[in-house]
Amino acid sequence: MRNLALLLCLAIGAPNLLQAQDRRGEQFYYPGSFNWTFLKLYPEAARLFNAFDYGHAVLYERLLTKPPAEREEALEKEYRFLTTDLLIRPPKFAVAEEVIEPTYAKLAWQAKQMFDWAHLLHRQIYDIYSVERLDSAAKYALIEKVTDYYLTRKDIAFTDVPKSMALMDDQYFSQVFRKRHEKFNGLIWSYHWLQVGLYEPLILGKTVTERKAGLKATLARFWSMLEDAPSRFPKVMPMTATIAPTFSAQHPRAAVIFDNLHMMHDIISDVLASDTIPKGRKRAVIYEQLAGFRDGTRDVMSMDEWKNMGEMMGGIGAMGGPATGLLTPAAASTGAGGEMKGMDHAAMGHGTAAKDSAAPKPMPPGMTHPMAPGDSAPMKPMPEASGTHPSERMAPMMELHQRMMADSVIRTRLQADTAMQRLMHEAMSMPNVMAKPTKPATTPTSKPAKPPAKKKPPAKPMPPMPGMKHP
Amino acid sequence: MELKRVWSAVAWTWMTVVQVGTAEAQIDYRNLDDDRPTLMEDAYPVERYAFEFLTPWRFSRDRSGGTTHAFVPELAYGLFPNAHLGLKLPIAGTSTASGREWGISGLRLFALYNFNTEGRFLPALSLRSDVVFPVGSLAGDGTRVSVKGIATRSWGGTRLHLNGAYTFGKDRSLGAAEAANKWWYGGAVDQTLYRRSLLLIGEVYALRALSTEPVQVNASVGVRVQLTPYLVFDAGVARRLRKSAGPDFELTAGFSRAFAIPGFMPTGRSR
């Protein structure tokens, strides 16, 4: 009996003793046969996300545990491992992040939990889009359902109200990480670019073949970002409404959640990297920020502001470029009256995706941004180069370039963006580039990437272009 | 009970689970369940709203040469936050002078509550209670209640688990499988190989089945591997470290599958 009494006392007293501790709080994802379809059909993309999880986890662990003087070296080592090994041969299943970030997970379990919960939503939406037997309306309803389910966990769900970008950029610790560790930060932003960008080919592809081709092209763009790092990485945080305009128009709640998630990723990097926050305060600061990101009533912006944010931040070019769109062959159409068919204005930074979706612009044949389920229109798969002579494809390209350069805003932006200048230079030098996806630096099945320092010389001398300075 | 009837029950259990289990799920290979494949378990419960169905098999041979087969279907459910409930219905086959006798070896209900996740200072701590009912021809005598304390602490890919259990009440004869031992305690270490989704486990424990029996000291090693996003395979082997007591060897293997039922999930707002 004495033993029993002792155990009872322990059982009753333990919750109080442990009140200050984090609770595990794990919850199963919304069930359904759609789960894991993305992994089954598109393993080359799904497995990449497992490597991304490692990248996030190891970043936080190194920032937390390494003294400032050793961080750059430690992150460089992890960067090499990621880009030459893990991303090339990503794990089949999710990485146990507690293994990679043991110190961080013990410090800020709630942050890990919030990220896991949001990543689960990410994954389930890929799964839903990958299911062939569901029509657009069913997919729409299911995505809203899993988003509802996500939001039932008020204690760990990011709000579906857009949070102010000032939280990421204008706090006393803001931007420390990205300024000190530009390359690793660029890698993280390229992850975020792909995580939202992959929705587009899955939505816009009309058939399995088109979806696979589109997804392959988007992946190729991701791989091309790893070349000559950090020059091709996004220069600002990729916004979902800009990179995935179709998805954002269909599911603005989920898109907002993902932007809040990605902002929080950056905030935590800054908190961990910041010297102004003592180690003993980091948990408290992170938890304050997390609480803010669960609260949809303060430090928020309107949906219109959120939709326009991509443009205000520098446009899609600064965010790593479009996930799809530009790969549609420009040579296919030069419209009457000078309207360029095959051109996504949002994708070029002329207007935000949200503006496009609010006031739809003429879209090229076979490429629309559906506003509602069922509107899903065909997207031309990124075809291989046709039999057209390269010079014929080059002509509209040149015309496109000249029209763009006539715009002083574009001209100024291009001059300020060396990566875009180089891309334009390469595009002008290689006629086939508009008809084929950019060749990746390495593909998941290829051998490990070469050291990133190697640069390709321009293929050909480039004719002088109005308004463009060539470095 | 005839062997045929036993396996019919097993088949029925499988069919039932397959029917409700069309909603695919994921099991984490790192979720160390009791007896799967080692005696120790970790301090974390099944996720809330998740069902976990386990179909392990165990073969053991004691010092006298007697052997036992045990098939122990188990179902656990994350009914509350940080807690799960479950039941086991062990089916055992023991060697006798006239052959092998098969039968149900008691019904076990259990609940586990996790107080905290591992923090900077404290390990994860849980409390579990089991109640074993005398159901079946190979069950023990009387209803028995046990309490177990569990702690888990990690260092990167390595974790240490400490378990200790005690059964209340007077000694009574034990079931042929999944017996409620008088007390036992031990420690296990596991190592995660995250790229292979594989867990290696080793443990040592001391056990006294009844107050009148000698203390066993046994060791086990095992492995858990993720086969699909929702299916885990495990296997292990155990052996006594003392000459006087404990199994000559034990072999075990099994599958674990997690799933959920949409009707049991919160739906949030409707649109």
What does the block give as tokens for A451?
């050291």
Q: Please report the pLDDT score of residue A351 as a whole number.
A: 33
Give the helix ranges, DSSP H, for A66-135.
68-81, 97-100, 102-107, 109-130
Q: What six digits make up the tokens of A88?
A: 């090339």
- For residues A271 and A293, the answer to whether their CB atoms sit within 8 Å is no
C-alpha triplet A401, A402, A407: angle, nearest 5°: 100
Q: What are phi and psi of B147, to 5 degrees?
A: -130, 140
CB burial readout A135-153, b (16+ within 10 A) else e: ebeebbebbbbbbbbbbeb
Contacts of A141 (CB under 8 A, 6+ apart): A373
Closest to B90 (Cα-Cα) out of B77, B102, B78, B76: B102
Name chain B contacts of A31, Cβ cutoff 8 Å: 23-25, 259-262, 265
Pairing of β B216-228 and β B231-240: antiparallel
Q: Which residues of B touch A21 (CB under 8 A)?
A: 115-117, 119, 122
Q: What residue of A is the nearest CA neighbor of B146?
A: A4
Query: Which amino acid is located at B18 in the chain?
Result: V
Beta-carbon separation of A24 and B45 below 8 A:
yes
Contacts of B122 in chain A (CB under 8 A): 18, 21
ipTM of the complex: 0.89
Query: For the packed helices A252-273 and A279-294, what is the interaxial angle rounded to 10 degrees?
Result: 170
Residues of B with CB below 8 A from A3's CB? 166, 168
Is the CB of B267 less than 8 angstroms away from the CB of A148?
A: yes
How many Å lie between the alpha carbon of A103 and the closest alpha carbon of chain B? 8
A230: DSSP letter: T
Residue among B25, B45, B197 whose CB faces A31 most closely: B25
Q: Are A207 and A389 in contact (CB under 8 A)?
A: no
Among A64, A81, A99, the residue to mutate for chain B (most B Cβ within 10 A): A99
Please tell me which residue of chain A has the smallest CA distance to B169.
Answer: A1
pLDDT in tens, chain A (471 residues): 566 666 666 666 655 656 668 999 999 999 999 999 999 999 999 999 999 999 999 999 999 999 999 999 999 999 999 999 999 999 999 999 999 999 999 999 999 999 999 999 999 999 999 999 999 999 999 999 999 999 999 999 999 999 999 999 999 999 999 999 999 999 999 999 999 999 999 999 999 999 999 999 999 999 999 998 999 999 999 999 999 999 999 999 999 999 999 999 999 999 999 999 999 999 999 999 999 999 999 999 999 999 999 999 999 999 999 998 754 333 333 232 333 333 333 333 333 333 333 333 323 333 333 333 333 333 333 333 333 444 444 445 545 555 555 454 555 555 555 555 555 555 544 433 333 333 333 343 333 333 333 334 433 333 333 334 333
d(C-alpha B19, C-alpha B16), whole Å? 5
Q: How many CB atoms lie within 10 A of CB A16?
A: 8
Cross-chain Cβ contact B229/A148 below 8 Å: no
Q: Which residues touch B209 (CB under 8 Å, ≥6 apart)?
A: B174, B179, B181, B182, B216
Give me A401's structure tokens: 């370039």
Other C-beta atoms within 10 Å of B186: how many? 21
B199 interaction partners in chain A (CB closer than 8 Å): none
- Measured in angstroms, the CA of B166 and the nearest CA of chain A are apart by 10
**Nearest by Cα to B249 from B14, B51, B68:** B68
The beta-carbon neighbor of B265 closest among A26, A109, A149 is A149
